[in-house]
Amino acid sequence: MGKDMRNDEELMVEYAAGHTEVLDEIFTRYKKKMFNYALRLLRNQADAEDVVAELFCLLSGKKDVYEPTHKFSTWFYTVAHNICMTKLRMRKRTIAMWFKRGKESSELKQWDVPDQAPGPGEVVQSRDIASYIKQAVEKLGCLEKETLILREYQNLRYDEIASVLGCTQAKIKIILYRARQKLRKQLQRIIAEAENV
């Protein structure tokens, strides 16, 4: 089999055998996918870049982290998912540390972060449907959003998504159904608001 035709699992077996140059091929195949996945979940370019760096540091630093009996892409998305969830938990803890309930001192008020959501005028100016979809996706719950991203943007199969998120395929199908229903309603609302401005 030619070098370009090797699948991910074969490359990882070669890597485990000491052929470190194959990591370049894995990097080429997955850098953009993992960056886009992390960016859609975390909504922060620096955090998404950190996720990619952590993923490839983990991979390059430890030959034995991947078990060749598993599908590599599913395993890699699972690791990326775990890193993203850790970052989200850290974000929540940091916010909670600075903004304690019931405290309204002037010291805390200086840390107020302005709402970054686009106003109605900005929505009207950007008549791009992709912008509307992005806004609607952001309004989904965390699990719905991640399931939708893995299916629609990363093109993972139901069984792969179930493995990444640690649940059954039946649950994934239910989550996707609900996410699509909510997405449809959100899109209708966003488009209606834009047209009424």
19-23, 98-102, 111-115, 123-127, range with greatest mean pLDDT: 19-23
Tell me the per-residue pLDDT of 63-116, one tens digit each, with 9 for 90 and over: 778 888 889 999 999 999 999 998 888 876 654 443 444 444 444 343 444 444
The residue with greater pLDDT, 152 or 194, is 152
Is the separation of the CB atoms in 175 and 162 below 8 Å? Answer: no
Q: Which residues contact 29 (CB under 8 A, 6 or more apart)?
A: 8
Q: Which distant-in-sequence residues (6+ apart) come within 8 Å of 61 by Cβ? A: none
Domains, the chain, in order of start with CATH, read 1-110 (1.10.1740.10), 114-197 (1.10.10.10)
Task: Give the angle 158-163-25 at the CA atoms, nearest 5°.
Answer: 95
Distances (CA, A) of 83 to 40, 62, 76, 104: 14, 16, 11, 33
Residue 134: the pLDDT is: 80
Name the residue among 92, 40, 36, 83 with its Cα closest to residue 59.
83
Global pTM reads: 0.66
Q: Which of 163, 6, 23 is nearest to 80 (CA)?
A: 163
Chain segment 171-186, per-residue pLDDT in tens: 999 999 999 898 888 8
User: Could you tell me which of 126, 33, 107 has the C-alpha nearest to residue 74?
Assistant: 33
